[in-house]
């Protein structure tokens, strides 16, 4: 058998992995899109996400499959990307938004979440 035929399951799994990776990159770009509210930058970020996903697919296909576009390669990449966007996309987006909000609130409101007991102790120390 040819080497290309023997390595098809390996190529299939790696392309599924990179499909998930591309979906994760797309989620990061969507978070950036939510942070930046300017329409021009949002369109640019969307264009960047599409360009990056096509570029990653092309490079992976070139390195793993010697540049041969076959149906299983296209199907596996599209399937993994779609599954990541549907099932894991909301989970990733929520966790990244929580991290962003925690970082954003730490700089602005340092004492917002203090309990009444610690506020009372600070007042006593000042007196």
Q: What is the pLDDT of residues 2-54, one digit of tens each?
A: 666 777 888 889 889 998 988 888 888 887 887 787 888 888 888 988 898 88
What's the pLDDT at 91?
A: 82
What's the pLDDT at 17?
A: 92
Distance (Å, whole) CA 1 – CA 71: 20
- Nearest partner of 46 among 33, 61, 62, 31, judged by Cα: 33
What's the pLDDT at 121?
A: 61
Alpha carbon separation from 53 to 30, 82, 112, 123 (Å, rounded): 14, 12, 41, 56
What's the pLDDT at 100?
A: 74
Distance (Å, whole) CA 45 – CA 30: 8
């Amino acid at each position: 058998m040819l080497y290309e035929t023997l390595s098809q399951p390996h190529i299939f799994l790696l392309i599924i992995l990179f499909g998930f990776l591309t979906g994760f990159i797309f989620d990061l770009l969507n978070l950036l899109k939510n942070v930046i509210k300017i329409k021009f930058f949002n369109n640019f970020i969307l264009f960047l996400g599409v360009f990056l996903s096509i570029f990653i697919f092309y490079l992976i296909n070139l390195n793993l499959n010697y540049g041969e576009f076959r149906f299983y390669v296209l199907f596996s990449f599209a399937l993994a990307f779609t599954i990541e966007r549907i099932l894991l996309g909301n989970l990733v987006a929520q966790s990244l938004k929580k991290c962003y909000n925690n970082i954003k609130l730490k700089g602005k409101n340092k004492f917002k979440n203090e309990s009444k007991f610690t506020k009372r102790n600070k007042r006593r120390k000042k007196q």
